[in-house]
Each structure stands twice: as structure tokens, then as C-alpha cells.
């Protein structure tokens, strides 16, 4: 069985790499470092299929270092020592470049094993990770490395790569492959920024292409059929998950229903119904809140319906609710109020509950004025009476500020009116 097309067609020079111009474009820092020939320890951070492994191979070739590849999911400390054993041998006369893929799967002890060898220069380390290295990579390694972030490749940049793939496959098979421009575009736009996925799709299309007398035909319909299940990049445990749910809520908060629906669609395409429902409920409470308090039971009903019917029908009540939340007036006064109160509590600013609010109990002997003296608001006009509610140490504290929306302003106006009509105690 031959290697995947992505490996057979792997770029050999910096200029052949698709995308990553923010790192490898003319004059960019990483390109200048590579061209200098003096390679420091590096950490490549970014999603899969965007050129991290390819770049490590190009660096090894340019520096004439012996390239050793390990994968954090399967490599052991013994594998690291086996790499180190090659130091100073004819096989690695120009030094060793260790490419450690998925370093986040190495435990702390395994990562510590690397330190001795990268500190003394026996090994140049290029580690790659799809997770945030500042969370998953041992600090001692990070302090000895430079982190570069790789981005998903734009579809427009993937189009030339797909065209090149079909030319390569034509040469391999000895028969022209005629891929219609729309077919190429469909492949480029369906791979979620993953060039490897685009190469795999191109190879599938070549295998399934209709054969004519003079060529293999790749039509848009064939490309659509073979890429329709190619969901956007998504990992429920990784950065992409948190980026998408963050963008989902921020789009609703920012009153952009189209963007909010886009991120909802990405969550649902990945089958992540729980995250779609949870963030929607949070947004209704946090970002709409008291500006339209009735929205909370409405959104809760939509979430319940979505969870009851499941996917794909769940998309319908969720879409309704996302649009409603996006277009509703916004207020975070409730969240700000409870956060301010929590700040006081966590700082130790509390104090005994005022006697008038305590549960009924007997006063001790030293209490001179015995009794609870609670004023029951419902026997007073407008169901309100002035009395102490906050502890003595917090008298005058104000946590809630009404939002600038008609609902909260109407509440504020009502209470200003009521409190001016305070009557004497009965």
C-alpha cells in the first residue's frame, strides 16, 4: 500500500508550503531564522494538517541535521535515549534534529528527560502540539524554546495545492485528470483549513473519477459527494472547541445573529449539542438578563425541546432561540451585581445578619433590647417599608445599577416613586 498523497507530495522548500505567510513570508522572523542556518529549539503550535511536520523536515534538510521523529502518543523515555545515542555518530555528523509530534502527550518526567540534551546542544528540538503549549508543555522546555503559532490555511491558498495534487496524480497514473474548477473549489473549501484533508479528498476523487477515452473526470457533484461529511475542524477537548463556543456566545452578545448561527452550525455539525445548549442558556441570563427577563424561560423551553428531539431536529428550536437572544436588548447588570457582591464576600466583608432578619430565636441574657423587630412589608402601603437588610459593616453598599434599557429603567422609576412615599412605622 502506497503512502498517503499528502506524504508523497510533501513540499520540499519553504516556498512550496501552503499558507503560514505570517511565519514564512519574505522577511518574516521564522523564515529569517531558518535561512540563517542556526536553529534554536522551537515549539510549533496549531491545528493538524497545516505544515508543522513539513516545515520540520525542510529545516532538517536545509541544516543537514539528522532528522529523528517521535510521537508523544507512543514514544517512551527509552525512545528518547535511543535518539540521543546517535549523537556524535557518522549518521548524525551535523547534529540531530528531534521532531516530537504531539508533545502534550508526554508527561512531566518524559519532558524533563529532554532538558539535559537540549540544554547542552546535543539535540535541537522541534516540538509540535495542537493544544496551547502554555498549558500543556513543561515550563522548563518552554523557557528554552520559541513558540510559533500556525493557523488554519485559507481556502484560497488551498486551491493551488489541490490543483497541484491532481497534476501529480495525473503523472502517477499516466492519464490526465480533468478536475473542473468548481470541483477544486469544493475540495478546498470543505477541508476546514487542513491541507492534508484536502489532499486526501483529491486522491479519493481521482480514485472515484469517471473514466473517459482520454481522461478521468472530476466533477463538482463527485467532489461534493466525497467531501460532504468533511465537518469543520473541531475537538471537544481542545482550543478549537473553546474558540468556537466563545465566538458563539460573543456573537449573540454582540447582537450578530448571522455570526451566532454560523458558530451554532459548527457546533451542531460536530454533534456538540450540550455546548450549544449550555452557552445559549448562559447568554440569555448573562447578556440579556434583566433587559428582557422573560427570555430565560423562553430559551429554557427551546433548549428542553432541542434535547428532547435531538439532532438534526434540535437545530430548529436552537436557531429560533439564538436569533431571539441575538436581537434582544442587552444588559449584564445582574451579572455585575452578583460579581460585586461576591467580591465583598470573598474579601471578608460580611458581618452578622441584622437581628430583624434572623430566624426567630431567643435573645441571650446580655441583649438589652429583646425581640426581632422585623417589619413585614406586606402590611405596609405598596408592600414596602424601610428597614435594615445589609449587615452593619456593609450599610450603604450598592451592587446593582439599573441597565440603560426600558425594562430596568421602569423598575428603577417604580421604586424611586414607591420609596418617596414611605409611611411611618405602624
Q: Residue 363 belongs to a domain with what CATH number?
A: 1.10.3710.10
pLDDT of residue 255: 94
Percent of the chain with pLDDT over 90: 34
Residue 187 lies in a domain: yes
pTM of the full predicted structure?
0.60
Residues 31 and 131 in one domain: yes
- Cell numbers found for residue 142: 518552554
- Per DSSP (E only), the strands in 53-193 are 66-71, 96-101, 123-129, 146-149, 177-179
| First and final C-alpha spacing in the chain | 93
Residue 268 lies in a domain: yes
What parts of the chain have a pLDDT lower than 50?
1, 423-426
Residue 10 lies in a domain: no
Residues 27 and 137 in one domain: yes
pLDDT of residue 118: 82
Q: How many CB atoms lie within 10 A of CB 291?
A: 21
Q: What is the CATH number of the domain that holds 261?
A: 1.20.272.10
Residue 334 lies in a domain: no
Residues 170 and 221 in one domain: yes
Number of helices (H), then strands (E), in the chain: 19, 8
**DSSP letter string over 309-320?**
H-TTTTHHHHHH
**Count of structural domains within the chain:** 4
C-alpha 261, offset from chain centre? 17
Residues 244 and 194 in one domain: no
Sequence-distant (6+) residues with CB within 8 A of 177 are: 166, 169, 170, 206, 209, 215, 216, 218
The DSSP bridge pattern shows strands 177-179 and 146-149 to be unpaired
Residue 233 lies in a domain: no
Residue 346 lies in a domain: no
- Structural domain including 95 reads 20-149
Q: Pick from 116, 149, 182: which residue ends a domain?
A: 149
Q: What is the CATH number of the domain that holds 172?
A: 1.10.8.60
Beta bridge partners of 12: none
Residues in the chain: 426
Residues 288 and 367 in one domain: no
Amino acid at each position: 500500500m502506497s503512502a498517503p498523497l499528502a506524504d508523497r507530495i510533501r513540499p520540499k522548500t519553504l516556498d512550496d508550503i501552503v499558507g503560514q505567510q505570517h511565519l514564512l513570508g519574505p522577511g518574516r522572523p521564522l523564515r529569517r531564522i531558518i535561512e540563517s542556518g542556526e536553529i534554536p529549539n522551537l515549539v510549533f503550535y496549531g491545528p493538524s494538517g497545516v505544515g508543522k511536520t513539513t516545515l520540520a523536515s525542510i529545516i532538517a534538510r536545509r541544516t543537514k541535521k539528522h532528522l529523528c521523529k517521535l510521537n508523544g502518543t507512543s514514544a517512551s523515555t527509552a525512545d528518547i535515549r535511543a535518539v540521543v545515542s546517535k549523537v556524535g555518530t557518522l549518521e548524525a555528523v551535523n547534529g540531530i534534529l528531534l521532531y516530537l509530534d504531539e508533545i502534550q502527550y508526554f508527561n512531566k518526567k518524559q519532558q524533563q528527560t529532554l532538558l539535559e540534551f537540549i540544554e547542552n546542544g546535543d539535540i535541537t528540538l522541534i516540538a509540535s502540539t495542537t493544544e496551547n503549549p502554555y498549558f500543556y508543555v513543561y515550563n522548563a522546555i518552554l523557557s528554552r524554546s520559541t513558540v510559533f503559532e500556525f493557523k488554519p490555511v485559507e481556502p484560497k491558498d488551498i486551491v493551488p495545492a489541490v490543483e497541484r495534487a491532481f497534476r501529480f496524480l495525473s503523472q502517477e497514473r499516466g492519464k490526465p485528470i480533468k478536475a473542473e474548477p468548481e470541483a477544486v473549489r469544493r475540495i478546498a473549501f470543505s477541508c476546514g483549513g487542513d491541507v492534508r484533508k484536502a489532499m486526501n479528498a483529491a486522491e479519493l476523487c481521482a480514485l472515484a473519477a469517471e473514466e473517459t477515452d482520454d481522461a478521468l473526470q472530476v466533477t463538482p457533484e463527485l467532489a461534493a459527494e466525497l467531501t460532504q461529511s468533511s465537518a469543520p475542524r473541531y475537538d471537544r477537548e481542545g482550543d478549537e472547541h473553546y474558540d468556537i463556543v466563545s465566538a458563539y456566545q460573543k456573537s449573540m452578545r454582540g447582537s450578530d445573529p448571522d455570526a451566532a448561527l454560523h458558530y451554532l452550525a459548527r457546533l451542531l455539525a460536530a454533534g456538540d449539542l450540550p455546548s450549544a445548549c449550555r452557552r445559549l442558556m448562559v447568554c440569555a441570563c448573562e447578556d440579556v438578563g434583566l433587559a428582557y427577563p422573560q427570555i430565560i424561560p423562553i430559551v429554557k423551553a427551546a433548549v428542553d425541546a432541542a434535547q428532547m428531539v435531538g439532532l438534526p431536529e434540535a437545530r430548529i428550536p436552537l436557531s429560533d432561540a439564538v436569533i431571539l437572544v441575538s436581537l434582544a436588548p442587552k444588559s449584564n447588570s445582574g451579572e455585575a451585581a452578583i460579581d460585586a457582591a461576591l467580591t465583598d464576600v470573598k474579601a471578608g466583608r460580611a458581618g452578622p445578619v441584622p437581628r430583624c432578619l434572623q430566624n426567630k430565636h431567643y435573645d441571650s441574657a446580655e441583649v438589652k433590647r429583646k425581640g426581632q423587630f422585623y417589619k413585614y412589608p406586606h402590611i405596609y402601603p405598596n408592600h414596602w417599608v424601610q428597614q435594615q437588610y445589609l449587615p452593619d459593616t456593609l450599610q450603604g453598599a450598592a451592587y446593582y445599577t439599573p441597565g440603560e434599557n426600558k425594562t430596568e429603567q421602569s423598575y428603577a422609576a417604580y421604586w424611586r416613586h414607591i420609596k418617596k412615599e414611605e409611611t411611618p412605622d405602624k
